[in-house]
Amino acid sequence: MLVNSEKGFSLTQVLIAAAILGGLSLFFMRLMKNMNQSQGLVQSKSDELELRSSIRMILSNSDYCRVSLAGNGPMGSPTSPVVFEKRNIDEENEGLDVALFLSNQAGDTRSLKKFNGSNNPGSNDQSQFGKIIIKSMKLIMNNGVGSNYADSSMHSDIGILRTVIEKKVSQSRTRELIMDFDINLTMATGQSPESSGQTRILSCTSGINIDSAIRNYLQNECKVCIACSDDGSWNNMVICDNFDNDGWFSSGQDYCGDQGRLAIKTVCGTDSYSDIAPNSPR
């Protein structure tokens, strides 16, 4: 062994050592590659969870949700209303392209754009979130298909905000995922200036009782008036008060006596509709 040491390594020993070093180098290269891929997958999953949470937070805020889907303006009175026909956005391969915004403090103007689909970038593209690409964000109203909503000054339905994302699952492969978020919408259909069958969004909530959203809209935007009438005319108006006043209705009924049946008018902004109260005294 002393002689071999003095003369140096043999060719065979050098080749063996080189092979070992090469094998170790390849092993560490693969190890680092796997570690990088694992870190990328972990980060991608983290981005996915954070994106889902951020979308939920925006939709659960009634102001953010409303300005995102209904446009600028106070509740019930969008300045540039988002208008659609339900039959055009009620199937899986359809949908209304939307983007999500924060609002100003008053809750009536879009301020900061947060998310949009890459198919709908607009003036400030926000389709990249960490390692995730948002392919599309669409509102789908799939409670029944093939027909529009009946004309109404106010009605509600539950739709889906469908968000399609793309994430890397390896260095060379990507995967598309679908995230659905249920949304409660308060809408008006066939009201001026829209045509029959055209719907505008008035308010939007997620994870909140829709009845409270409707009641808030009525309290802020509507008045209810009553009169005594046989034919629905308004020549004897007696009471006109806010919707949330619970004491006026019985006094209005008692007032009519023999003068006619109780007629009811609901006034929301410039829109109104009338009816003769059923079972009201003559």
Q: What is the pLDDT of residue 135?
A: 96
Domain count, the chain: 2
Does 46 share its domain with 113? yes
**22 occurs within a structural domain:** no
Q: How large is the average pLDDT for residues 126-134? A: 93
In the structure, what pLDDT confidence band is assigned to residue 167 with cuts at 50, 70 and 90?
confident
Does 62 share its domain with 86? yes
Does 141 share its domain with 226? no
Query: What predicted TM-score, i.e. pTM, was given to this entire model?
Result: 0.62
Q: What is the pLDDT of residue 204?
A: 86
Percent above pLDDT 70 for the chain: 63
Least confident residue range of 12-26, 49-63, 140-154, 256-270: 256-270
Does 164 share its domain with 193? yes
Q: How large is the average pLDDT for residues 242-253? A: 42
Range of the domain at 109: 41-208
Q: What is the pLDDT of residue 269?
A: 52
Which of residues 266 and 114 earns the better pLDDT score? 114
In the structure, what pLDDT confidence band is assigned to residue 247 with cuts at 50, 70 and 90?
very low
Q: What is the pLDDT of residue 162?
A: 95
**31 occurs within a structural domain:** no
**DSSP of 83-117, one letter per residue?**
EE-GGGS-STT--EE-EEEEE-TTSSSEEEEEEE-
Percent above pLDDT 90 for the chain: 34
Does 254 share its domain with 163? no
pLDDT digits (tens, 9 = 90+) for 70-123: 999 888 788 888 899 999 998 888 899 999 999 999 989 999 999 999 999 988
**20 occurs within a structural domain:** no
Does 273 have pLDDT greater than 70? no
**72 occurs within a structural domain:** yes
**96 occurs within a structural domain:** yes
124-128 contacts at long range (C-beta below 8 A, 24 or more positions apart): 126/99
Residue 210 near residue 156, CB atoms below 8 Å: yes
Query: Residue 140 and residue 205: Cα distance in Å, rounded?
Result: 15
Q: How large is the average pLDDT for residues 138-149? A: 90
In the structure, what pLDDT confidence band is assigned to residue 266 with cuts at 50, 70 and 90?
low
Q: Pairing between strand 110-116 and 222-229?
A: unpaired
Does 195 share its domain with 257? no
> Which of 173, 151, 179, 186 shows the shortest CA–CA distance to 65?
186
Q: What is the pLDDT of residue 260?
A: 56
Does 159 have pLDDT greater than 50? yes
**Average per-residue pLDDT in the chain?**
75
Q: What is the pLDDT of residue 49?
A: 86
Residue 162 near residue 183, CB atoms below 8 Å: no
Does 250 share its domain with 150? no
Least confident residue range of 117-131, 186-200, 249-263: 249-263
**DSSP of 209-225, one letter per residue?**
-HHHHHHHHHHHHEEEE
Q: How large is the average pLDDT for residues 206-219? A: 51
**252 occurs within a structural domain:** yes
